[in-house]
Amino acid sequence: MEEDGSNSIRRMSTRSRKIAPKMAAALASSDNRTQAILARLDALENDNAATEAVQQIDDDDDEVSLDDDDDQVYQKKQSKSTKRKTRQAKALENAKKASRTFLELLHEANLESLPPHVPSYLRAAVGPPSSSSSRHFCTVCGFTANYTCVQCGMRFCSIRCQTIHNDTRCLKFVA
Amino acid sequence: MSNVVVLDNGGGLMKAGIGGERDPTAVVPNCTARPLSSKKWLVADQLLSPTEDLTSATLRRPFDRGHLTNPDLQSTLWAHIFANLLKIAPSQCSLLLTEPLFTLPSIQRSVDELVFEEFNFKALFVADSPSLVHLYEASRRPYGLVSKAQCSLVVDSGFSFTHAAPVFQNFTLNYGVKRLDLGGKALTNYLKELVSYRSVNVMDESFIIDDVKEKLCFVSLDVDRDLQIARRRGKTNLFRCAYVLPDGITHTRGYVKDPEEAKRYMGLDDGASLDSLEKDETDRADIIGKPEDRRTIDLSKNEFSMTNERFIVPEMLFRPADLGMNQAGLAECIVRAVNSCHPYLHPILYQSIILTGGSTLFPRFSERLERELRPLVPDVYEVKISSQEDPILGVWRGGSLLASSPDFETMCVTKAEYEELGSARCRKRFFR
């Protein structure tokens, strides 16, 4: 009997372990939401991000084609892996050359260390709104939305919009 | 001849001209773009020529979140402007430059390097936009409240962000400045996103969507009512409006299909209740005839129609929380800016709110702001909001005025002083 009881307790403990990943998943899903919101706000500050990536590849091609004139034979002999390496190196160089974003500069400026009475970029931000209520608009059609997607937290107003949401944009901003 | 170059270096548009003149010589986008078809990057004014096809052009801006982060790109843009548009030699001129509030020291240093070491300007004066707007408004109406009290609240809603800044005796009170991280760029991107989801993919068409935003967006005075109107079908939907995308052959710029149709919302009364409106509209629709005429989509043209997007987009300035942003709206932003000043200034600040910046150009912007602001302000204070005559050029005109004042030369930092003292100590002269 006693053994059984201890067994059941053990079982309980294994069960709770089984629950834990579920909890973790739930936590992750809520994280998905904040992640989605942040990514969305970040996307609002982009200029043509998609084309920027394409453009970088273009640049690489240009440089390669310039090299071609000098040592075509040599390049043909080279294995693919080394060619990739040079590309990687070039990408690294480009990253070094590329201007830093404002957020990086802001982080570097270390404004948190200023005494509280000094007005700074961080303290000039308007801060959270006084009422936490926000209106919800359907992300599909734009009208008032009563429902929330359980996965990503975006809003929709009807079944029709929900299917569109699930098909096309659910978790779009989560990497 | 005055040889002061006035440059309002905004994130979206650069306004450049010679001090003392009324209007800037050049108002050009502060970016470079490369159309899909070519390998050449187009700079500033070349983007404005009607023959260039900017469909899906790749864009690069020297500004990130309103601050100068790419000095190399900025220097090529400046060089182009100084040489080709203004036709001046920088080494013969002084420069009056605007800079966003709370620019980081590292960015200030790179700007100084650009001005003195790369372009060799004789002298530099750095101003912030609210004080220039105040200066301009005060000089325009010498007997108005702004110039008598020497005090105003400048609301500058620009390309990258929106500032509510109290100005007192020509100095921006930087402890009172409040910033809302939403501006024209975010609104354009938001509209891009909405249109791409709902009709055509325009994620790469910044220039076109900018144009759509400027021509079709407006601020709603009653969002709930307007949302219901936007839901209607056919002619009774006052907001539906089509925009024709460029096809690259007959027209390289997009246009509003029917400008009359786009203006129908103007007829809406403020107080009109929904029922009476509905009746009214159905009557009118009967008289005009079949509602089908305009609804049929012309397949030979690539177009999309907009309804609620037209007012939901500027709406975000008033309620950023709707976008998931943890920031207060513009009205609250103004109240907080005023509250951080001395109580004696409160009544005057509320009476002298000046709107400037491109994002205040949305129709009915000031009416809506007044409606939002009134309940938040103690009722003993009067609220008076005035828009600038030309919100985009207002800052530049203030700068031009300042540059032509007799004391201007003495306020500048000269190249010799910069070389002697360095960037950080020269900056102290600008009291910011």
Residue B300 pLDDT > 70: no
Q: What is the layout of strands, in order, in the sheet containing B94-98?
A: B26-29, B13-18, B4-9, B94-98, B123-127, B413-414
Tell me which of A74 and B159 has the higher pLDDT: B159
Site of tokens 């509280």: A116
> Which contacts (CB < 8 Å, 24+ apart) does range B262-269 have?
B262/B215, B262/B216, B264/B238, B264/B239, B265/B218, B265/B238, B265/B239, B265/B310, B266/B363, B267/B238, B268/B226, B268/B229, B268/B238
Site of tokens 């509030």: B101
Chain B CB within 8 Å of residue A140 CB: yes
Ranking A88-97, A149-158, B67-76, B414-423 by mean pLDDT, the lowest is: A88-97
Ranking A163-167, B7-11, B135-139 by mean pLDDT, the lowest is: A163-167
Annotate B371-390 with DSSP letters as a single string.
Answer: HHHGGGS-TTS---EEE-SS
Contacts of B185 in chain A (CB under 8 A): 44-45, 47
Q: Looking at chain A, which residue has its C-alpha nearest residue B325?
A: A41
- Domain B4-128+393-430 sits in CATH 3.30.420.40: yes
Tell me which of B75 and B267 has the higher pLDDT: B75
Ranking B4-8, B232-236, B253-257 by mean pLDDT, the lowest is: B232-236
Ranking A97-106, B91-100, B371-380 by mean pLDDT, the lowest is: A97-106
CA–CA dist A152, A171 (Å, integer): 6
- Give me the residues paired with residue B164 across strands: B155, B178
* Spatial contact of B311 and B252, defined as CB atoms under 8 Å apart: no
CA–CA dist B204, B403 (Å, integer): 39
* Backbone φ and ψ of B243, nearest 5°: -125, 130
**pLDDT for the residue numbered B208:** 86
Contacts of B321 in chain A (CB under 8 A): 129, 132-134
> Considering chain B, what is the average pLDDT of its residues?
84
Contact: B322, A51; criterion CB under 8 Å? no
**pLDDT for the residue numbered A23:** 47
Nearest-by-Cβ selection for B204 from A48, A102, A141: A48
What is the CATH code for B131-182+326-387?
3.30.420.40
Contact: B324, A40; criterion CB under 8 Å? yes
| DSSP-derived 3-state class of residue B166 | strand
Q: Looking at chain B, which residue has its C-alpha nearest residue A108?
A: B106
Which has the closest alpha carbon to B2: B402, B401, B406, B404? B404
**pLDDT for the residue numbered A53:** 44
Judged by CB atoms within 8 Å, which residues 238-277 of B form the interface with A? none
Nearest-by-Cβ selection for B179 from A111, A126, A130: A126
Tell me which of A175 and B195 has the higher pLDDT: B195
Within 10 A of A17 (CB to CB), how many other CB atoms are there? 9
Contacts of B106 in chain A (CB under 8 A): 105, 108-109
Annotate B285-317 with DSSP letters as a single string.
Answer: HHHH--THHHHS--TTS-EEEESTHHHHHHHHH
- Domain B184-316 sits in CATH 3.30.1440.10: no
- Give me the residues paired with residue B6 across strands: B17, B96
Contacts of B71 in chain A (CB under 8 A): 99
Q: Looking at chain A, which residue has its C-alpha nearest residue B312?
A: A142
Nearest-by-Cβ selection for B106 from A43, A45, A105: A105
Domain ranges across chain B: 4-128+393-430, 131-182+326-387, 184-316
Nearest-by-Cβ selection for A127 from B164, B185, B327: B327
As for the ipTM of the complex, it is 0.71
| DSSP-derived 3-state class of residue B6 | strand
- Give me the residues paired with residue B117 across strands: none
Residue A44 pLDDT > 90: no
Residue B153 pLDDT > 90: yes
**Residue B146 CB partners (closer than 8 Å, separation 6+):** B134, B137, B138, B152, B352, B354
DSSP summary character for residue B31? -
In this structure, the strands spanning B255-256 and B241-244 are: antiparallel
* Spatial contact of B104 and B44, defined as CB atoms under 8 Å apart: no
Q: How far is CA A28 from CA A171, B13, B198, in A?
A: 13, 42, 29
Ranking B46-50, B327-331, B392-396 by mean pLDDT, the lowest is: B46-50
Q: Looking at chain B, which residue has its C-alpha nearest residue A130?
A: B328
Contact: B198, A141; criterion CB under 8 Å? yes
- Select the residue from B197, B322, B332, B373 to test the A interface by mutation, using most A Cβ atoms within 10 A: B197
Within 10 A of B87 (CB to CB), how many other CB atoms are there? 9
**pLDDT for the residue numbered A17:** 43
Helix axes B365-373, B330-339, angle to 10 degrees: 60
Contacts of A108 in chain B (CB under 8 A): 106
CA–CA dist B289, B287 (Å, integer): 5
Judged by CB atoms within 8 Å, which residues 64-123 of A form the interface with B? 99-103, 105-106, 108-109, 111, 119-121
CA–CA dist B367, B373 (Å, integer): 10
**pLDDT for the residue numbered B272:** 54
**Residue A37 CB partners (closer than 8 Å, separation 6+):** A153, B324
Half-sphere exposure of B83 (CA within 13 A, CB side): 9
Within 10 A of B241 (CB to CB), how many other CB atoms are there? 26
CA–CA dist A80, B366 (Å, integer): 62
Output the six-digit token pair for B81: 């402007």
In this structure, the strands spanning B162-168 and B151-157 are: antiparallel
pLDDT tens digit sequence for B346-366: 999 999 999 999 899 998 899
Which has the closest alpha carbon to B251: B213, B191, B190, B302? B302
- Select the residue from B55, B59, B373 to test the A interface by mutation, using most A Cβ atoms within 10 A: B59
Which has the closest alpha carbon to B31: B52, B48, B53? B48
Domain ranges across chain A: 12-47+134-175, 56-122
CA–CA dist B399, B415 (Å, integer): 20
* Backbone φ and ψ of B154, nearest 5°: -95, 125
> What is the identity of the amino acid at A6?
S
Contact: A125, B179; criterion CB under 8 Å? yes
In this structure, the strands spanning B94-98 and B123-127 are: parallel
pLDDT tens digit sequence for A131-148: 777 788 888 888 888 888
Within 10 A of B201 (CB to CB), how many other CB atoms are there? 10
Residue B165 pLDDT > 90: yes
Contact: A51, B204; criterion CB under 8 Å? yes
Contacts of A103 in chain B (CB under 8 A): 65
Do the domains at B131-182+326-387 and B184-316 have one common CATH topology? no
User: What is the enclosing helix (H) or strand (E) of A140?
Assistant: none
Q: Looking at chain B, which residue has its C-alpha nearest residue A168?
A: B197
Tell me which of B13 and A55 has the higher pLDDT: B13
Chain B CB within 8 Å of residue A27 CB: no
Site of tokens 């359907």: A138
Rounded to the nearest 5 degrees, what angle is found at the Cα of B179, between the Cα atoms of B176 and B180? 145
* Backbone φ and ψ of B152, nearest 5°: -160, 165
Judged by CB atoms within 8 Å, which residues 388-427 of B form the interface with A? none
> What is the identity of the amino acid at B51?
T
* Spatial contact of B254 and B262, defined as CB atoms under 8 Å apart: no
Half-sphere exposure of B274 (CA within 13 A, CB side): 12
Helix, strand counts (H, E) of chain B: 18, 20
| DSSP-derived 3-state class of residue B47 | helix
Judged by CB atoms within 8 Å, which residues 44-103 of B form the interface with A? 56-61, 64-67, 69-73, 101-102
pLDDT tens digit sequence for B207-225: 888 888 988 899 988 888 8
